[in-house]
Amino acid sequence: MTVFVLDTNVISDMVSPNPNVTVINQIAAHRQHTICLCEAVDYEVRRGYLKTGATAKLRIYEERIRSQFQWVAIVEIDWLQAAQFWADAVNQGKQLSDVDLLVAAVATRLSGQVISADDDFDALPITRTTWRSP
């Protein structure tokens, strides 16, 4: 069984006024696997909607999206791994967001893949897949 860890842009694709059908179909096609939502992504989704006053989108996320996925808490080993990822990336001249580093750390702990359209993850030693149309 494969473990997938979602990035924020997957949630945005689902909550959008015109949801990305390819992403929705990929989620449905992978239901037999474990699809995870971690605390860092929840934080990033919420702060974005709160900042812009997008209360309808926040409600959709809370009532229809969030519960579809397995919840994963950030634990100490994730923070340690994220710190190592940060140091390695900076030493290679790349700057990644802390949320991306934590998502990658969770995926590493779970031996999973990050699902994201964000190619910043490609600077890290993880597997990234996009469920958006090419």
pLDDT tens for each residue of 84-98: 999 999 999 999 999
pTM: 0.95
- Domain containing 107: what range? 8-129
Q: Establish if 35 belongs to a structural domain.
A: yes
Q: By percentage, how much of the chain surpasses pLDDT 70?
A: 99
State the average pLDDT for the chain. Answer: 96
Q: Provide the domain count of the chain.
A: 1
Q: Establish if 134 belongs to a structural domain.
A: no
Q: CATH number, domain at 86?
A: 3.40.50.1010
Q: Would you call 50 exposed, middle or buried from its count of C-beta atoms within 10 A (0-12, 13-18, 19+)?
A: exposed
What is the SS3 assignment for 93? Answer: coil
Phi/psi of residue 96, nearest 5 degrees: -115, 155
Q: Would you say 106 and 72 are in contact if contact means Cβ atoms under 8 Å apart?
A: yes
Q: What is the pLDDT of residues 13-22, one digit of tens each?
A: 999 889 999 9
